[in-house]
Amino acid sequence: MKKVFITGGTGFVGAYLIAYLLEKGYQVRALKRKTSPMGLVERFGEQVEWVEGSLLDSSFLEKILVDIDHVYHAAAMISFAPDSLDQMLKVNTEGTANIVNAALYVGIEKFLQVSSIAALGHKENRIHMTEKSEWENSKYNTGYAISKFKAECEVWRGIEEGLNAVIINPSMIMGAGYWGVGTNNLLSQIEKERGYYPEGKTGFVDVRDVAKIAIALMESDISAERFLISAENWTYKDLFDLVSELLGRKTATKALPNWLGSFLSVLDWMRAKLTGKPRALTKEIFRGMQAQRNYSNDKIKDALEVDFIPIEQTLRETVPLYLKAKQTGQSFDWLEL
């Protein structure tokens, strides 16, 4: 079988990618940092060839890709703190440019970029989102979104220079992984019974679908295309209601007003300053969670005839694992593949 290289292999999407690739018989080499958490990927044992290095080291990347057929670029820095933009541009954008250049230099067979719906760009009155949605500078774009958009630009530049590549833009990715990190942080927030829910609507997708679709696209003849990967569009109210029920908590009954969201973002800024912990609710995040957006999955369904896992099923499988982990003190878990 072909040999693949994965960046972000210790992360949420990367771990599921590795699981499915190993299941299909691929040889897997994956990038890690010295400080990368390994709990989620310990189960793979010596099946994975782990290499320690940095996306900012061009010569390292060229050496490590020499015998590689496929590259899955899933690594990214995620932060919503306003002062993190420069670092995200370095890791997400410059890092992507480096691995694109290395892939071109070595002449790999195919490249897949795990991007984000954030890279589509958002503005106040844009509701229906497709692959054709064009980026516009807007207060609704977070620093993370800017860095991912610029990263995509590097992949398109690589395509112009001859790179055989495809891009996926997953919506909000749900499923068991590291608890309290990323979208799984929603579970702990809902559990606190704050009484308020955001008024917005967005797309959600199961992490298993993201991984399986990425591999299917890599194995296909499809190139120089981007695909929205989103199962269903849900309101946050519906999400909060179901998760509250599964957690055995009271459901939120009040829509979060703008004035309170702004006030909470200031409190969150103060908390981050005092504790040194990452921001959880910036003004950009609040605006995003109040916005009404629908993400189309027509293109990927036409290309691969995908049957997405219903998000209700994803939540009904994920929440019990989260509750079990709270009892045992386990910081992560897996959904059944």
pLDDT in tens, 240-270: 999 999 999 999 999 988 888 888 888 888 8
- Residue 279 forms part of a structural domain: no
- Residue 134 forms part of a structural domain: yes
Helix (H) or strand (E) holding 245: helix 236-247
CB 315 within 8 A of CB 243: yes
Mean pLDDT lowest for which of 45-49, 119-123, 176-180, 332-336?
119-123
What's the pLDDT tens digit per position in 153-172? 999 999 999 999 999 999 99
- Residue 25 forms part of a structural domain: yes
Taking Cα atoms as reference points, which of 20, 25, 19 lies closest to residue 1? 25
- Residue 37 forms part of a structural domain: yes
| Dihedrals phi, psi of 32, to nearest 5 degrees | -140, 155
| Parent domain of 41 | 3-182+202-233+294-308
- Residue 84 forms part of a structural domain: yes
Rounded CA-CA distance 335/176 in Å is: 6
We report the CATH number of the domain holding residue 156 as 3.40.50.720
* Confidence (pTM): 0.95
What's the pLDDT tens digit per position in 91-136? 999 999 999 999 999 999 999 999 999 999 877 777 899 999 888 8
Q: What is the dihedral of CA 278, 282, 288, 289, to 10 degrees?
A: 80
Domain count, the chain: 1
